[in-house]
C-alpha cells in the first residue's frame, strides 16, 4: 500500500474514558446517582473530612487540630490534585480520574512523594503519633496500589473509602463501623460507570482496610 492510500485511511480516534457517556441500558437517574457518589468519594475529596476527624482526636486544642489537618490536607490532597489537573490540561492524562492504567504510575508516585514530605514535616514539628500513623497508613495503601497498577488496574476510589472507614474505626471505635457501608456504594458507582470490574473494586477494599490496620498495630496505636 502506497503512502497516498495510507494517508487516506481514517485515523483511529482516541478512546473516550469510561464514565463520560451514559450506556443505553442505564436510566438517567441511576447514571446521575453513580456519578454523584463517584464524585463525592474521590480520594481527594474524601480525605478532607477523614483527616479532620483524625486531627480532632489527635490534638487537644483547635489551633493544633487545624494545624495538623492543614498540613496533611495541603501536602497529601492539594499536591496530587494540582498534578492531575496539570496532567489533564497538558494532555498527558486522559481525564481527572486517570482512567487509563498506564497513566497512573507517575501520579501515584507524586502522591507518595507528597506523603513522604508530609510525614517528615509532621515528625519535625512534633505531630501526635496518631497523625503520623494516619499518614503512614495512606502511604502504605498507595504504595501497594502503585505496585499492583504496573500490571493490573485497581479502584483507588474504593481503596480510599475502605481506608477512611478503617481509620475512623481504629480512631473512634466500633461505633464507626457503619461507615463501611460507604465501601459497597462506592464500588457500585465505579462499576456502573465502567471504570472498574467487581474484582478491582473488591481488591481496593481489601488493601484500603488492611493498610491502616497494619500500620496502627505496628505502631501500637490500637488497644
**Per-position pLDDT tens, the chain of length 223:** 444 444 444 444 444 455 567 777 788 888 899 999 999 999 989 999 999 999 999 999 999 999 999 999 988 888 877 878 888 888 888 877 777 888 888 888 988 999 999 999 999 999 999 999 999 999 999 999 999 999 999 999 999 999 999 999 999 999 999 999 999 999 999 999 989 999 999 999 999 999 999 999 999 997 5
Question: Is 8 a domain residue?
Answer: no
Residue 1 counted as domain residue? no
In a domain, 99, yes or no: yes
Of the candidates 137, 146, 157, which has an alpha carbon nearest to the alpha carbon of residue 76? 137
191 Cβ contact list (under 8 Å, min separation 6):
197, 198, 201
Residue 40 lies in a domain: yes
In this structure, is residue 161 part of a structural domain? yes
Position 168 in a domain: yes
Q: Considering its fold, how many domains does the chain have in total?
A: 1
Domain hosting 149: range is: 27-218
Question: Is residue 20 a part of any domain in this protein?
Answer: no
3 state DSSP class of 186: helix
Rg (CA), the chain: 19
In a domain, 75, yes or no: yes
Q: Tell me, what's the pLDDT at 71?
A: 92
Task: Confirm if 79 and 99 have CB atoms less than 8 A apart.
Answer: no
Alpha carbon distances (Å) from 209 to 138, 199, 220: 10, 16, 17
Amino acid at each position: 500500500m502506497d503512502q497516498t492510500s495510507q494517508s487516506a485511511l481514517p485515523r483511529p480516534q482516541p478512546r473516550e474514558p469510561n464514565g463520560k457517556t451514559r450506556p443505553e441500558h442505564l436510566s438517567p437517574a441511576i447514571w446521575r446517582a453513580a456519578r454523584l457518589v463517584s464524585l463525592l468519594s474521590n480520594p481527594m475529596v474524601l480525605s478532607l473530612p477523614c483527616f479532620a476527624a483524625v486531627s480532632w482526636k489527635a490534638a487537644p486544642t483547635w489551633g493544633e487540630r487545624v494545624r495538623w489537618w492543614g498540613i496533611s490536607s495541603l501536602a497529601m490532597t492539594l499536591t496530587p490534585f494540582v498534578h492531575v489537573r496539570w496532567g489533564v490540561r497538558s494532555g498527558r492524562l486522559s481525564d481527572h480520574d486517570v482512567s487509563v492504567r498506564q497513566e497512573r504510575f507517575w501520579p501515584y508516585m507524586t502522591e507518595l512523594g507528597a506523603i513522604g514530605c508530609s510525614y517528615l514535616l509532621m515528625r519535625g514539628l512534633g505531630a501526635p503519633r496518631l497523625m503520623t500513623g494516619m499518614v503512614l497508613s495512606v502511604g502504605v495503601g498507595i504504595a501497594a496500589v502503585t505496585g499492583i497498577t504496573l500490571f493490573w488496574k485497581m479502584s483507588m476510589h474504593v481503596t480510599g473509602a475502605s481506608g477512611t472507614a478503617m481509620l475512623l474505626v481504629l480512631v473512634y471505635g466500633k461505633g464507626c463501623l457503619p461507615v463501611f457501608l460507604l465501601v459497597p456504594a462506592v464500588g457500585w458507582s465505579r462499576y456502573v460507570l465502567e471504570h472498574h470490574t467487581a474484582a478491582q473494586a473488591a481488591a481496593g477494599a481489601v488493601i484500603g482496610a488492611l493498610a491502616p490496620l497494619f500500620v496502627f498495630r505496628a505502631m501500637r496505636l490500637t488497644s
